[in-house]
Amino acid sequence: MINKEEFQDEIGDNHVSLSAKNPLRDDAFDISDEEKIEKIKKDFESILQTLGMDLTDDSLKGTPNRVAKMFVKEIFAGLNPKNKPKASTFENNYKYGEMLVEKNIIVYSTCEHHLLPIIGRAHVAYISNGRVIGLSKMNRIVQYYSKRPQVQERLTMQIVQELQIALGTDDVACVIDAKHLCVNSRGISDIESSTVTSEFGGKFKDPQARLEFLDYIKMDTKF
Ligand SMILES: [Zn+2]
């Protein structure tokens, strides 16, 4: 028998994703960003105090406020739906019917089990069924869902689902290859390993389309 805390440690250390939605409470946005920053600042002061740090030191003085602002306005800004990019789409006027791949989109996310960075690349593809989306919109969607406490499996699925809704098609795929600092810099401390996740929707479930997508990812783009 393991107790609840041990079970949660187990989930964290094994990086198991339990849900495609980020576990947010209903009251998550009842208070403003400014109120959150104020609360988190106090919480961080307390953490640093407990660790024995001297918060009157010039170098440390501003840290709780910096961390609080960074949490709310930067690295976890994607929790708030008001920061969601508008995924406007356009008529596919040129009738391009092949796969479109946006590759090497840089991913900066944060592991929700250890709150350490996840750094890597996302490769996203879709086959238009009449609508197209601006190329940079795909980068923005990746960024938005990355700016949350995340697990990589969920992030991959959320990117695909968002594009499926925006484009009105199931034919969307995403592969993410990323390093988790909780694996690379602590715990097992394996600096070389990276984690690959993929989600293939609609036509991408076909092995041929899947291979084509993966071949494009491997292409070495020179310019
Ligand atoms: Zn982790």
CB 84, CB 141: distance < 8 Å: no
Active site residue 174: no
What is the distance in A from the centroid of ligand 1 to the CA of 197?
Answer: 15
Tell me, rounded to whole angstroms, the distance of Cα 107 from its chain centroid: 7
Mean of all residue pLDDT scores within the chain: 92
What is the distance in A from the centroid of ligand 1 to the CA of 12?
Answer: 6
Q: Is residue 174 annotated as involved in ligand binding?
A: no
Which of 45, 102, 114, 153 is flagged as catalytic? 114
Residue 205: is its pLDDT beyond 60? yes
Residue 71: is its pLDDT beyond 90? yes
What is the distance in A from the centroid of ligand 1 to the CA of 190?
Answer: 13
Give 198's strand partners.
Answer: 175
Which of 102, 112, 153, 162 is flagged as catalytic? 112
Which of 45, 113, 158, 199 is flagged as catalytic? 113
What is the distance in A from the centroid of ligand 1 to the CA of 9?
Answer: 11
Residue-wise pLDDT tens digits, 13-61 = 655 544 579 999 999 999 999 999 999 999 999 999 999 999 999 999 9
pLDDT of amino acid 192? 92
Active site residue 8: no
CB 41, CB 168: distance < 8 Å: no
Which of 45, 162, 174, 182 is flagged as catalytic? 182
Active site residue 112: yes
Question: Please, is 88 exposed, middle or buried when counting C-beta atoms within 10 Å of its C-beta (0-12, 13-18, 19+)?
Answer: exposed
**Residues 133-136: contacts with CB under 8 Å, at least 24 apart:** 133/87, 133/88, 133/89, 133/90, 133/163, 133/166, 133/167, 134/88, 134/90, 135/102
Residue 102: is its pLDDT beyond 70? yes
Measure the N-to-C terminal CA separation of the chain; round to a whole number of Å. 58
Active site residue 113: yes
How large a percentage of the chain has pLDDT more than 70? 91
Q: Per mean pLDDT, which range of 1-5, 54-58, 111-115, 116-120 is the poorest?
A: 1-5
For residue 4, give the DSSP letter.
Answer: H
What is the distance in A from the centroid of ligand 1 to the CA of 151?
Answer: 8
Q: What is the dihedral of CA 163, 166, 170, 176, to 10 degrees?
A: 0
Which of 143, 150, 152, 158 is flagged as catalytic? 152
Active site residue 123: no
| Domains along the chain with CATH numbers | 27-75 (1.10.286.10), 89-218 (3.30.1130.10)
